Amino acid sequence: MPSRAPSKPKSTGETAKASAPSAAAVSPEELEALKQTLIKRLIDTGEWNRSSFIVLFQTLMIWVEKSLSAILKDRLHESGWMDDVSNQAKEYARQQDPLHFKTLIQELTPKAEATVPDDVKEEITALLRTWIDENTEM
First to last CA, the chain: 31
Q: Determine phi and psi for 77, rounding to 5 degrees.
A: -65, -45
Angle separating helix axes 118-136 and 69-79, nearest 10 degrees: 160
Half-sphere exposure of 105 (CA within 13 A, CB side): 3
Distance CA 3, CA 102 (A): 36
> What pLDDT was estimated at residue 120?
93
List pLDDT tens digits, range 31-54: 778 778 877 877 787 766 666 677
pLDDT of residue 35: 75
User: Which three-class secondary structure state does DSSP give residue 15?
Assistant: coil
pLDDT by 10s per residue, the chain, length 138: 444 444 443 333 333 333 334 433 566 677 778 778 877 877 787 766 666 677 777 777 787 777 888 889 999 999 999 999 999 999 998 988 888 889 889 999 999 999 999 999 999 888 888 877 776 654
